[in-house]
């Protein structure tokens, strides 16, 4: 599935804040948005939350944006169940 994620970098801690009304996952990471650090932190956080290896979480678009799309090898219902 392709998962839409809105990232807030430089947060006080890494956390998944849930889904907004449009179905976008809200994620906060402590890493700064420089040199791909925030992207790596989001990938690691999603992998840990979904119980997948980080290599299975692929950033499809939005490398330099707060709005990102990740390709995840799970169905939408599995993703929502694991993140609930």
User: What is the token pair recorded at 6?
Assistant: 């809105």
Low-confidence ranges of the chain (pLDDT < 50): none
> What is the number of domains present in the chain?
1
Domain span at 74:
2-83
How would you classify the pairing of strands 25-28 and 2-8? Answer: parallel
User: What is the token pair recorded at 82?
Assistant: 């694991």
For residue 54, the domain's CATH number is 3.30.1200.10
Sheet of strand 2-8, all strands in order from the earlier edge strand to the far edge: 15-19, 25-28, 2-8, 67-71, 58-61
**pTM of the predicted structure, to 2 decimals:** 0.95
Q: What angle do CA 46, 48, 50 make, to 5 degrees?
A: 65
CA distance 84 to 65: 25
Q: What is the pLDDT of residue 56?
A: 97
């Amino acid at each position: 599935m392709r998962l839409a994620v809105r990232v807030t970098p430089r947060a006080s801690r890494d956390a998944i804040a849930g889904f907004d009304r449009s179905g976008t996952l809200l994620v906060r990471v402590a890493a700064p948005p420089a040199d791909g650090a925030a992207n790596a932190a989001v990938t690691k956080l999603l992998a840990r939350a979904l119980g997948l290896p980080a290599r299975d979480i692929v950033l499809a678009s939005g490398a330099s944006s707060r709005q990102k799309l990740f390709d995840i090898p799970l169905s939408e219902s599995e993703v929502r169940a694991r993140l609930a």
